[in-house]
Structure 1
Amino acid sequence: MRIAFLVNSIEGETSYYTTTSLALAALGRGHEVCYVTPGDFVLRPDNSLLIRATTLNGSKPKKPETLLNALKREQANVVTIDIREIQVLFLRNDPSEDAESRPWAVYAGTNFGRLAAAAGAIVVNDPDGLALAQNKLYFQGFPETVRPTTLISRSIDEIRAFIEDHPDGVILKPLQGSGGRNVFKIRSKGEANLNQIFEAASSAGYLIAQNYLPEATAGDIRLFLMNGRPLQRKGVYAAFRRVPAKGDVRSNLHASGTAEPATITPQVLGIAEKLRPKLIEDGMFLVGLDIVGDTVLEVNVFTPGGFPEIAAIHGLDFSEDVVIALEDKLRIRQLYVGAVSNRALATL
């Protein structure tokens, strides 16, 4: 099986990214891997879709650093491959990273992903589902009982009124964003620098305001779902607690948060079950939920990360489970010869 990973840029990939772990797991199970970026698709006049893929020249690295060095060196092998020679296209790019500097790249994965699926590749997460989730407005489609109270607006007057209605405070962040960038806690509508915060957070578009959850001071739980259900092996869930740095409201690991073991309770599993129907309907193969108490703060469908942190905590690399699931999907695709849609196959 040949798996192509779509990433924002090869230069930006790191050893602690979950994508790196997935690629190593695929190599370890005897598969071929290659990396593709948003600018590497080619649609020829005869409607054939090709990708300019960075490959490994037949090598099988076993360490993250060795893999990335092979991909990033100047003599890395870049070949043009017909999409029909790719069995799986794994969309692992973060559109929000390109929204300002490369707006043309934001929709490349979903647009060309549709064409790849039509040509016979298994594309995960499903590109039509991902197209619905290009920003946090997607989150509003899940049951209200598991979501924070939310306002989406570009009006500072609306935001001030929302803050006044929530004495415990409000979290303010861009509707299009990730990684904890421009996330602020507002304690009251009289916050001295509210205007400056508003300008900084709204520079990329709409803002999302949510009621602050005091339990968030202890961090949130990142729980992975695969095929719509919590990912687990040997009684251990693919999950960890993301603890914010002292004085920071953000638990993102890229924003100085730290990873600790998490207790997965029946309450947490019940929350995941409430989200399952829509995730399956949208073809969301691999998803990361961020949970505080009985509330989901984020549904991460593009590049949910944390597998290396879970491996460090529990000694289990769930990347192999993901690759095995892809192998199963390939067998189903071959058995049904296109009779099962990509969206359905993504969560089977």
Structure 2
Amino acid sequence: MRIGFFVNAIENETANYSTTHLALAALMRGHDICYLTPGDFVLRPDDSLAVRALTLPASNYKKAETLFKDLQGDATTVETMNVTEIDVLLLRNDPSEDAADRPWAAHVGAVFGRLAAERGVIVLNDPDGLAQAQNKLYFQDFPASVRPETLISKSIEEIQGFIESQKKGVILKPLQGSGGKNVFKIGSPKDSNLNQIFEAVSGEGYLIAQGFMPEAAEGDVRFFLMNGLPLQRDGKYAAFRRAPAKGEIRSNIHAGGSPEAIEVTPTMLKIAETVRPKLIQDGMFLVGLDIVGDKLLEINVFTPGGLNNLSQMYKTDFTQTVIEALEQKIVIRDGYLGRISNRQLATL
């Protein structure tokens, strides 16, 4: 089969990204791959959907670094093809990266992904589900039992009042964003920096204020779910702790956090089971849960990262399991002969 990887920009990819390792796993299992970016779709007058896909000069890669080097090199080829020549399209872009400088590009994956799904391509995560999850407000649709106490507002008075009610302080961050950008801990509504922080963060839109959990000082746990269930391979769970750097409140790897191996607890499994029904309902094939204590901080449905870290920690290649699941979806799709929706297929 041919797997297409939709990303924000080729030049922004890295050898360590989960997308690169998924592409390598697909090639190692004998599949073809290609890369797409927001400007690569063509809807023609006859209603056919074409793509300008970037293909690699070789297929026998053994290391992600070699694949990445060729991906960034001059030997790649841009091939125009009907979108139906792609069997599976993985939407691996982060809309928040394009929201400010390229707002036209932020939602292209979901929009054209829907058109591709209508033409028989398996599109994951389901584009209609992703359209509902364009910012962190999506998180509020999950059961309250797994969410920390949260306020969403653009009013500094509302935020000050919420901070006053939280004796352990709050975490303040933009509603639209990722990678730990503009995340602050506020201890009191009298914090001398509150006005400056509010001005900096509110410039990006609405703000989220969440009750601070002391357990967060040790970092959070990134726990992967696939098809609505914990991702496992060789009896091991795809989960690791993201420990913050010294003096940091953010545990994101991009913000200097470091990955650590963990044992998955019954609490983590209970959280996964609690969010499972909605993830299945929304067609979320591969997601990353960010867990602190007995609460979820976020659910990453666009570009959950860390699969490469897992492989190094547990000597288990979870990307192979992901590609195996895609192979099975092709079998299911062909067996149902168009009688199954993309959203249903996404989590089977």
- TM more than 0.5: yes
Aligned to 2:116: 116
TM-score of the pair, normalised by structure 1: 0.99
Give, in whole Å, the separation in 1 of the partners of 2:337 and 2:251: 44
**Secondary structure of the corresponding residue to residue 81 of structure 2:** strand
Give, in whole Å, the separation in 1 of the partners of 2:68 and 2:261: 28
TM-score of the pair, normalised by structure 2: 0.99
Question: Is 2:24 the partner of 1:20?
Answer: no
Contact 2:234–2:316 (CA under 8 A) maintained in structure 1: no
Aligned to 2:96: 96
Aligned to 1:132: 132
Matched residue type, 1:200: A
Offset, 1:318: 0.3
Aligned to 1:49: 49
Matched residue type, 2:175: L
Offset, 1:202: 1.3
Give, in whole Å, the separation in 2 of the partners of 1:177 and 1:73: 30
Q: Which runs of 5+ in 1 are unaligned?
A: none
Give, in whole Å, the separation in 2 of the partners of 1:314 and 1:287: 19
Offset, 1:75: 3.6
Q: Deviations over 1:216-249 (max 9, x none)?
A: 0011111000000001122210000000011111
Give, in whole Å, the separation in 2 of the partners of 1:192 and 1:15: 41
Matched residue type, 1:30: G
Aligned to 1:107: 107
Give, in whole Å, the separation in 2 of the partners of 1:220 and 1:59: 36
Q: Deviations over 1:134-179 (max 9, x none)?
A: 0000000000000011111111111000000001010000000000
Give, in whole Å, the separation in 2 of the partners of 1:268 and 1:75: 45
Q: Deviations over 1:18-69 (max 9, x none)?
A: 0011000000000000000011111011111111110013433221121122
Give, in whole Å, the separation in 2 of the partners of 1:75 and 1:312: 30
Offset, 1:252: 0.2
After superposition, residues 1-348 of structure 1 pair within 5 angstroms as: 1-348=1-348
Larger deviation, residues 132-141 vs 53-62: 53-62
Give, in whole Å, the separation in 1 of the partners of 2:61 and 2:267: 40
RMSD: 0.8
Q: Deviations over 1:268-319 (max 9, x none)?
A: 1011000000000000000000001110001000000001111111111100
Give, in whole Å, the separation in 2 of the partners of 1:66 and 1:11: 15
Give, in whole Å, the separation in 1 of the partners of 2:72 and 2:117: 28
Larger deviation, residues 62-71 vs 46-55: 62-71
**Secondary structure of the corresponding residue to residue 52 of structure 2:** strand
**Secondary structure of the corresponding residue to residue 42 of structure 2:** strand
Matched residue type, 1:184: F
Matched residue type, 1:286: L
**Secondary structure of the corresponding residue to residue 12 of structure 2:** coil
Matched-pair identity in %:
64
Q: Deviations over 1:111-145 (max 9, x none)?
A: 00000000000000000000000000000000000
**Secondary structure of the corresponding residue to residue 325 of structure 2:** helix
Contact 2:4–2:86 (CA under 8 A) maintained in structure 1: yes
Structure 1 runs (4+) greater than 4 angstroms displaced = none
**Secondary structure of the corresponding residue to residue 10 of structure 2:** coil
Q: Which runs of 5+ in 2 are unaligned?
A: none
Give, in whole Å, the separation in 1 of the partners of 2:263 and 2:165: 32
Contact 2:225–2:288 (CA under 8 A) maintained in structure 1: yes
Give, in whole Å, the separation in 2 of the partners of 1:202 and 1:320: 41
**Secondary structure of the corresponding residue to residue 62 of structure 1:** coil
Number of residue pairs matched? 348
